[in-house]
Structure 1
Amino acid sequence: MSAIKFSNEEKALLAAKLQRYFSEELSQQIGRFDAEFLLDFISEEIGGYYYNRGLYDAQAVLSAKLDDLGDAILQLEQRTDFKR
């Protein structure tokens, strides 16, 4: 898996969200540098867990859709004297 990277604009938005969380929920002020440092830590150390969960969820959805598609194809099957 490649490292999780964000554009400068995305990183600024996420850092601002961390700053707001620290301010509103923890009554602590952190600067943008500290927020970006925390974001880097979360991305490197925890991000893979969220990434993998997203992959597993996507795989489950795709598998269910493929099952539905297989069922739909079987419903189109015509009766013949051939045995399957």
Structure 2
Amino acid sequence: MTIELDKEVRKEAAASIERYFREKMDEPIGNIAAAGLLSFFLEEIGPVVYNQAVADVQERMKARLEELQARVEELDIEVHEEPFQYWRKFERPHKAK
């Protein structure tokens, strides 16, 4: 799977690579070389980052689903209503002897 970036994001990413080389490396890198390096990273390393992000989201969703499942299981306790209560409201309390 190739990770695609829209044109503006790709342009900003290439400019960031150029700046990195200019400020951190001994040699500057041109725009075309920076764009090529970006393409390489997206194709070669991008899937690793993508797959990790998907795994992280799955873990978070799994935890949330477990919380939701626990809440659903508690619903019957929280909202339980006793049936056949109509006549009980007319009954007189029995006196203790």
Task: Report the TM-score when normalising by structure 2.
Answer: 0.74
Which residue identity does 1:41 align to in structure 2? F
Which residue identity does 2:10 align to in structure 1? K
Distance 1:27 1:7 in 2: 30
Distance 2:64 2:53 in 1: 17
The answer to whether structure 1 residue 28 and structure 2 residue 27 are counterparts is yes
Aligned length: 78
Partner SS state of residue 76, structure 2: coil
Distance 1:7 1:56 in 2: 24
> 1:28, CA displacement in angstroms?
2.2
Give runs of ≥4 in structure 1 deviating > 2 Å: none
**What do residues 14-46 of structure 1 show as CA deviations (whole Å, max 9, x unaligned)?**
001111111112132111100000000001111
Q: How does 1:1-84 map to 2 (within 5 A)?
A: 2-78=1-77
Q: Please, what is the CA RMSD of the aligned residues?
A: 1.3
Partner SS state of residue 77, structure 1: helix
Unaligned runs of 5+ in 2: 81-97
Which residue identity does 1:7 align to in structure 2? D
Unaligned runs of 5+ in 1: 80-84
Larger Rg: 2
Task: Report the TM-score when normalising by structure 1.
Answer: 0.85
Which residue identity does 1:47 align to in structure 2? G
